[in-house]
Structure 1
């Protein structure tokens, strides 16, 4: 039996689901793109190759091995993208919540059913259909739960709007003792530099009291200031538009002082090291072409 425990983003990791790029399928067509960054690379002929993405995820897996983390992998679905495990579910405290994802990604949940079968069935929840919520938008942070959403009246027109206010309300009802705070994110169907697909595309805590933030990812300045109040401006690493595009806020914490980051994130990685973090640098630039990075590829199950 897996004893789930996730209270925050950075405590020592013990068990995780890591996505897979094996049998990833052909390059999608223009009409199949889920996000503007994938579309950009499909049109440019630079969409990532399966063999390159397999190598990148394997480098990530080796870091988990180094730190003695138990790693589960999805069962392989032929010709299917299963890299972004974060989208399909998430853990808060000891509860596993299945995401209501884009309908044609439902099979990804089936591929981790063998892991779900090892959980206490009374602690596995599927929200009602009107609730849209994906793991990239949900960040447990001790007594807080931060949630990315999109409050525009044109929500249904945006394939990049992944978590709705029903999702926020659902989490508030499930965790009445937590401070649930939603953040209205900037969305774009066509310009990846102006699209915060999930909250972790413009914000992520690191360590005990620090964070990485992209101010322009928030539609309301008040939401950005809410995080500044909690963390303190001096503890936040502010990324720029191009850094946000390359997903600098989407790194992954193995422990309060150990971070896995993309090797090209020079400015960020130097800041992390200057602040006492061990930075495990790996190549992940090909996977990032699909508007997802290290946090997106993981579904943490147990942290100390």
Structure 2
């Protein structure tokens, strides 16, 4: 049996699910894209190629091997995009919670069924159908769980709105001893620079007490200010709209000292090293064209 343990985003990683780009399927039509960034790249004729994305994910697998992290991969489904393992489930403490995701993506869950079945039954949680949630919006941070959400009246029209308040309430009920704090995110079906698809597209805690943040990703300034005050202004790295678009906040921590980051994030990686982090740089720009990056493609199961 798997003894799940996730209390935060940065404790030493032991076991993780890493998505796969194998048999990723043909370039989608514009109508079939789930987010404005993928759409842009389809229209421009530069949607990422499977071979390039496989190579990028193998670079991450190699970093995990270097740090002795146990890696599970989804079973390959023919012609199916299974890159973003964070979307389909997530772990808080010793529980794995299945995400209620876009109906077209149900089969992605079947591909990790063999992992799900290794968890004690009482710790496998399926939320009621009215709770919409994806792992990219959920961040355990010790006594807190930070959740990105959207509660505007146009929620049903926004394919980019992935997590609702019903899910926030359900997660608070599951973990009564934690403070669940939700943040309203800016959503757009058409403009990728005005769209925070998930919370990890505009914010992520790193190390013991630091964070990366993009102010415009938050709809309510007071909620953004709360985060800055929580971490302390001197501990926060503010990213620009272009850096948010390139997914600078969507890096991934192997431990409090080691971070996997995209090799083109020059300003961020320089700052991280100045703060004393070891930065493992990988090429991930092709995967980034689908509005997801390192955190989106990984689903931690066990941290120390």
Q: Tell me the TM-score normalised to structure 1 length.
A: 1.00
Task: Tell me by how many angstroms 1:229 deviates.
Answer: 1.6
- Aligned match of 1:188: 188
Q: Secondary structure at the match of 2:289?
A: helix
Aligned pair 1:282/2:291, yes or no?
A: no
> Residues of 2 paired with 1:191 and 1:74: CA distance?
31
- Aligned match of 1:84: 84
- Aligned match of 2:94: 94
Deviations 1:105-137 (CA, angstroms, capped at 9, x unpaired): 000110000011111111000000000010000
> Residues of 2 paired with 1:170 and 1:156: CA distance?
20
> Residues of 2 paired with 1:152 and 1:270: CA distance?
38
> Residues of 2 paired with 1:97 and 1:291: CA distance?
23
- Aligned match of 2:119: 119
Show the 5 A alignment for 1:15-164.
15-164=15-164
Task: Tell me by how many angstroms 1:156 deviates.
Answer: 0.5
> Residues of 2 paired with 1:40 and 1:118: CA distance?
39
Task: Tell me by how many angstroms 1:190 deviates.
Answer: 0.5
Q: Secondary structure at the match of 2:16?
A: strand
- Aligned match of 2:218: 218
> Residues of 2 paired with 1:164 and 1:180: CA distance?
13
> Residues of 1 paired with 2:118 and 2:70: CA distance?
14
Show the 5 A alignment for 1:218-237.
218-237=218-237
Show the 5 A alignment for 1:196-211.
196-211=196-211
Please report the RMSD computed on the Cα atoms of aligned residues, expressed in angstroms.
0.4
Deviations 1:30-88 (CA, angstroms, capped at 9, x unpaired): 11000000000000001000000000000000000000000000000000000000000
Q: Tell me the TM-score normalised to structure 2 length.
A: 1.00
Aligned pair 1:178/2:160, yes or no?
A: no
Aligned pair 1:299/2:299, yes or no?
A: yes
Runs of 4+ residues over 2 Å off in structure 1:
none
Aligned pair 1:13/2:42, yes or no?
A: no
Q: Secondary structure at the match of 2:254?
A: strand
Task: Tell me by how many angstroms 1:151 deviates.
Answer: 1.6
> Residues of 1 paired with 2:84 and 2:274: CA distance?
30
Q: Secondary structure at the match of 2:242?
A: helix
> Residues of 1 paired with 2:152 and 2:233: CA distance?
28
> Residues of 2 paired with 1:73 and 1:121: CA distance?
21
Q: Secondary structure at the match of 1:296?
A: coil
Q: Secondary structure at the match of 1:139?
A: strand
Mind listing any 5+ residue stretches in structure 1 that lack a counterpart?
none
> Residues of 2 paired with 1:144 and 1:53: CA distance?
34
